[in-house]
């Protein structure tokens, strides 16, 4: 491979890494108590790429923010939650900060 082509591929890969979503939201069934929320938070905070975690029992939602330029693969997140006994119904990625998710969840209660 020519050096110029190799450099273009490397730049594209770096750009993809930086373009990762800041927040990953997961619709999760099986969340029934504060102990569930604590366990999920602890499990997801153990990932080096995790910046913060929010668990909403009322909305059946788990949201993870990642550190700048880092990511956690969907299949890894799904496996972590299903291994803990939960069902993941959907995963969405967005640039919305986790504080905005917290605010939205707070408004959903009212």
Q: What is the pLDDT of residues 13-58, one digit of tens each?
A: 444 434 456 899 999 999 999 999 999 999 999 999 999 999 999 9
Beta carbons within 10 angstroms of residue 81's beta carbon: 22
Q: pTM of this prediction?
A: 0.77
As for how many domains the chain has, the answer is: 1
Contacts of 39 (CB under 8 A, 6+ apart): 84
Beta carbons within 10 angstroms of residue 19's beta carbon: 10
Beta carbons within 10 angstroms of residue 97's beta carbon: 13
Model confidence at 7: pLDDT above 60: no
Planar angle of CA 81, 30, 49, nearest 5 degrees: 25
Cross-strand bridge partners of residue 62: 26, 55
CATH, residue 98:
3.30.70.100
For residue 82, what are its two tokens? 């299903």
Q: Does the residue 31 lie in any domain?
A: yes
Host domain of residue 29: 21-108
């Amino acid at each position: 491979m020519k050096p110029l082509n190799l450099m273009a591929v490397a730049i594209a890969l770096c750009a993809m890494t930086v373009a990762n979503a800041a927040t990953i939201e997961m619709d999760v069934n099986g969340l029934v108590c504060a102990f569930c929320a604590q366990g999920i938070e602890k499990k997801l905070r153990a990932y080096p790429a995790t910046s913060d975690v929010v668990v909403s029992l009322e909305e059946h939602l788990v949201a993870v923010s990642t550190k700048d330029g880092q990511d956690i693969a969907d299949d890894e997140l799904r496996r972590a939650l299903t291994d803990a006994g939960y069902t993941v119904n959907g995963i969405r990625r967005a640039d919305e900060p986790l504080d905005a998710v917290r605010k939205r969840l707070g408004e959903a209660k009212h």
